[in-house]
Chain A
């Protein structure tokens, strides 16, 4: 089946630094990638939707300058957490629709810890 490869699976960074998370669609073209964030004991919340070759659409309350999304190709979307702070520590996960219907594939997630 369709696979979305997400890296890194976990990362620890110092406060003030930037971290890049990659999601690659391995055997299909992902025209749209969705980025979610999951805080401890909470559900996944959509952060932004990225479309290949265009600017990402951010959900209300998500800082676009802090969470930079790039979707330069049909197989790669990246999320960069800039100037990370401890409150950005969370589980980030990407998702892509694998067809025209209701089939979505999720990446394995990235656990970010900012110290």
Chain B
């Protein structure tokens, strides 16, 4: 069975500070990994995804994530956050047949001025 764990339900951070949102997954088969962002009352927007190749993936809005197979992690990072990054972030995995996403419980990033 697959599962995704986002340990931090909320992360407060000051503007221009770095941030890391943690994601760990468990799967008996190989998966692809995704990070989505959800702004209030909106749908999910893809930030980045890891399918294969370089384990460091760069996404939109200055975010990046690193796939660590040995630690089964896919942490999301940004060196300097903005107020506009305040949103909820979801880590997700999908099996190679692309038929079903498994989402983490989400991390609310609150960027303070």
Q: Are A106 and B105 in contact (CB under 8 A)?
A: no
- Determine the distance from Cα of A41 to Cα of B42 in the docked complex, in whole angstroms: 16
Establish whether residues A102 and B49, one from each chain, have CB atoms under 8 Å apart when the complex forms.
yes
Query: In whole angstroms, how far apart are the Cα atoms of A107 and B36 in the complex?
Result: 13
Number of interface residues of A (CB under 8 A): 24
Flag if A109 contacts B41 (CB, 8 Å): yes
Interface residues in chain A, defined as those with a beta carbon under 8 Å from any beta carbon in chain B = 4, 6, 9-10, 34, 36, 41-46, 49, 93, 95, 97, 101-102, 104, 106-109, 111
Least CB distance from B23 to A in Å reads 12
B41 adjacent to A111 (CB under 8 Å): yes
Take A43-B105, A46-B101 as given contacts and tell me if A106 and B44 are in contact as well, using a CB distance cutoff of 8 Å: yes
B53 at the interface (CB under 8 A from A): no
